[in-house]
């Protein structure tokens, strides 16, 4: 789960000014998103090649 320190670090990496944000609200939203997407870990992906690019017809 995200700590406030971690969010500040990420904002710095992203060059994102979040000084006028309600940081607690932002933390709650990010943590909620993280819980939601973490359900992908239920799927066994052993020996599966990641699909990172899609072919475009030229």
Partner 1 sequence: MSILNYSALELNKLLQKQILSVQELITALEAHIMATEPSVKAFVYLDLAKAKTASVCLDERIRRGEEISCLAGVPFVLKANMATINEPTHACSEILREFKPGYNAAVAAKLTEADAILLGKTNMDALAMGSSTVTSCFGPSYNPWAENLSPGGSSGGSAAAVAAKEAWFALGSDTGGSIRQPAAFCGLVGMKPTFGLVPAFGVVPLAPTLDQVGPITRNVRDCAAVMSLISKKDLGFMQEVPLSVKGLKIAVAKEYMELALPEMSDAVYKALAVYEKEGAVITEISLPLTKYALPAYHVIAPTDFAALLSGDDYKNCPGFVEAVKAYDSSLFGIEEQRRILMGHYFNSFMDHNKHYIHACKIRRLLQDELNSALEKYACIVTPTTCNTAFSYSKMPKEGKEMYKNDMLLAAASIAGLPAVSLPCGIINGLPAAMQIMGRPYNDRFILDIAEAYEVATAKEYILY
3-state secondary structure of 45: coil
Q: Which of 3, 4, 23, 29 binds partner 1 (CB under 8 A)?
A: 29
Q: Which of 1, 5, 24, 51 binds partner 1 (CB under 8 A)?
A: 51
For position 1 contacting partner 1 by CB under 8 A, the verdict is no
Query: Cα separation of 11 and 26, whole Å?
Result: 12
For position 24 contacting partner 1 by CB under 8 A, the verdict is no
* Phi-psi category of residue 47: left, alpha or beta, with phi > 0 → left and psi -120 to 50 → alpha: left
For position 55 contacting partner 1 by CB under 8 A, the verdict is yes
């Amino acid at each position: 789960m995200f700590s406030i320190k971690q969010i500040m670090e990420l904002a710095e990496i992203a060059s994102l000014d979040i000084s006028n944000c309600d940081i607690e609200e932002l933390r709650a939203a990010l943590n909620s998103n993280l819980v939601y997407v973490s359900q992908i870990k239920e799927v066994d992906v052993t020996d599966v090649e990641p699909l990172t690019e899609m072919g475009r017809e030229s």
